[in-house]
Amino acid sequence: MRLTLKVWRQAGPGAKGGFRTYPVDEISPDSSFLELIDHVNEQLEASGEEPIAFDHDCREGICGACSMTINGIPHGPLPGTTTCQLHLRHFRDGETVTVEPFRAGPFPVLRDLVVDRGAFDRIIQSGGYVGVNTGSAPEANLILIGKDVADQAFDAAACIGCGACVAACPNASAMLFVGAKVSHLALVPQGRAEAGTRVLRMIERMDREGFGNCTNHGECEAVCPKEISMTQIARLNAEFRRASVSTMLPSWGSRR
């Protein structure tokens, strides 16, 4: 199989970037997209050039590190698929494929295809956890959870934090990500005690990081490799309204 890659190259955060073209010959259509980048890097290293910098880890669609925009679509043209799970058989022989980093203000480019997604970590640190004492795992049947609720929580917990939703959104909104993280804890009893403070802190941090608001374009759901539904954004808004009213009630009472 033969392809032509147009790859964004940028030496550092403050450096001027641009596209470089790399022809690739005799690559197997069963190769993954990351294996294609590996192949190009082997050629670059053999010729004494700097290899393309890109993030990767598990290469099994679990970690969310392999974030690239391929032909204008985060993670590429195949729905419900991460970059590492995308195989070359989904491209035409002889096709020109454009590869660039995720484009969003809160995700500054560090080098080539690598962006800083530390903003997501800081959002999680602000409240995306359950503050309970650690120790041995409790008996699973002590707290009964209905299957429908458990299924909804698992659907939200499937989010791998890759940032494709932000890269696809014209507003660079992180509300699908935050909604998924808020939902999977708010739906289960263990997470209800801190639900109010959690959603307020995470949204405040999201805004401080410079992410935009949701205006229902739906691009986030379309490109999410785990097919997280925009229902999570609706639940995030409901949790936020509930928490906002709860925090206002004492001040109302004090004025009477």
pLDDT tens across 41-60, in order? Answer: 999 999 999 999 999 999 99
130 within 8 A of 190, measured Cβ to Cβ:
yes
Provide the mean pLDDT of the chain: 93
Structure tokens at 131: 């503050």
Residue-wise pLDDT tens digits, 13-31: 999 999 999 999 999 999 9
Every domain range in the chain assigned CATH 1.10.1060.10: 117-249
Under CATH, what is the fold of the domain 3-111? Ubiquitin-like (UB roll) (3.10.20)
H helices of the chain, in order, are: 33-46, 118-127, 147-157, 164-168, 175-186, 189-192, 195-208, 219-223, 231-254
User: Is residue 254 over pLDDT 50?
Assistant: no
User: Given pLDDT bands bounded at 50, 70 and 90, which one contains residue 141?
Assistant: confident
117-249 in CATH: which number?
1.10.1060.10
Q: Which residues pair with 70 in a beta bridge?
A: 73, 99
Question: Smallest Cα–Cα separation from 164: which of 220, 123, 108?
Answer: 220
Query: CATH 3.10.20.30 region(s) of the chain?
Result: 3-111
**Residue 140's pLDDT is what?**
67
**Lowest mean pLDDT: which of 63-77, 102-116, 141-155?**
141-155
> pTM of the full predicted structure?
0.91
